[in-house]
Amino acid sequence: MVAHLDLDSFFIAVERARNPSLRGRPLIVGGRPGGRGLVAAASREARRNGVRSGLPLDVAAVRCPDAAFVEGSLGVYLEAARQVDAILRRHTAVIEWVSIDEAFIDLTPTRSAAAIQAVEDIRGEIASLGLDVACGLAQSKLVARVASRLAHPRGLVHVLDGYEPRFLSPLKIEVLPGLDPAVGQRLRAAGIRRLGQVARLTDAQAARLAGRAGSTLARQAAGLDSARVRPAPLPVTLLADDEIAPTANRDALESAVRVRAERAAHDVRVRGAFARSLTLRLRYADGKLESRTTPLREPSALDDVLGAAALDLLARMLRSERLVRAVGVTCGGLLRADDRLFRF
């Protein structure tokens, strides 16, 4: 039994728990209008007015003039996440933090009824902190993650064992975690919009549409996923995207990405850990955000390895006509040094 927990609008919820007068009002985290700051998070009320993460704060102020703006505090958010981590550890020792607001927990060999009760208890304890959490419960990480998306903002969706294909079949292909946007476009161009259609593809059809990943994609669309919950600690720091002078110059962007990758590698080494994946985020001059994650061939904390992975992602994401104004590199799926590489 695997549960996926997604803390809904985490930064917003923490700010409202600190200051209840902000509840119900449009709220924007990231700083004050003026300068070159970007929106880090926006409440539903602000999003209804067209405010999104990555949007320049000045533009956000125009779109939502009644919004409250707060600087935000990474230390406060980390402390709130640590309180959630303590709650989870009262129920299981196998916790895989994906990010500061997202985690998998392994409830095996708990029976379904006991697992549901455990998740309900966790939801209640997290709610006592003033936070909302969406939970998905299933036999695999992939299905649990999809289920939690349908449970937003504070619900629980339990997918019974054996019902995974039936649960996934009517859902849009975009709900599949990690779906490459280019593959998604090819599927839609072929008239494939639902996961059930993907699951019915032959190996040849899947390969034609998604390349070498086609067969894996078809299995995932049917709910087949053997990935285990691997213990990964809560991040001890948050690496914010660093603003740069807007540019589309490849050399300048490669230099910026290399510096951020080395900083991320240093952060991993300080923690005595190894990274299993790396994420590169590019924020463009128009405020739009693009993010891609790549698994590493083996866990690493070396500058050269993480730098090469980040530059490979940049090469795949870079478009000569788009100006980049902020770059971020983070590592995920961390293994502590005492877990040893041969366990991976």
Which positions are annotated as active-site residues?
102
Could you give the CA distance from residue 264 to residue 241 in angstroms, rounded to a whole number? 12
Could you give the CA distance from residue 32 to residue 54 in angstroms, rounded to a whole number? 14
198 in Cβ contact with 217 (< 8 Å): yes
Tokens matching residue 339: 């877990």
Task: Identify the three-state secondary structure at position 149.
Answer: helix
Q: In what order do the strands lie in the sheet with 102-106?
A: 95-99, 102-106, 2-7, 133-138, 156-158
CA triple 283-286-292, angle to 5 deg = 30
Tokens matching residue 48: 């209804």
Could you give the CA distance from residue 92 to residue 216 in angstroms, rounded to a whole number? 30
CA triple 260-177-11, angle to 5 deg = 60
CA distances from 73 to 23, 29, 43, 48, 120 (A): 18, 9, 16, 24, 29
**Sign of the torsion angle spanned by Cα atoms 93, 98, 100, 102:** negative
Question: Phi/psi zone of residue 342: left (φ > 0), alpha (ψ -120 to 50 degrees), beta?
Answer: alpha
CA distances from 34 to 31, 64, 245 (A): 9, 15, 16
Backbone Cα Rg of the chain: 20
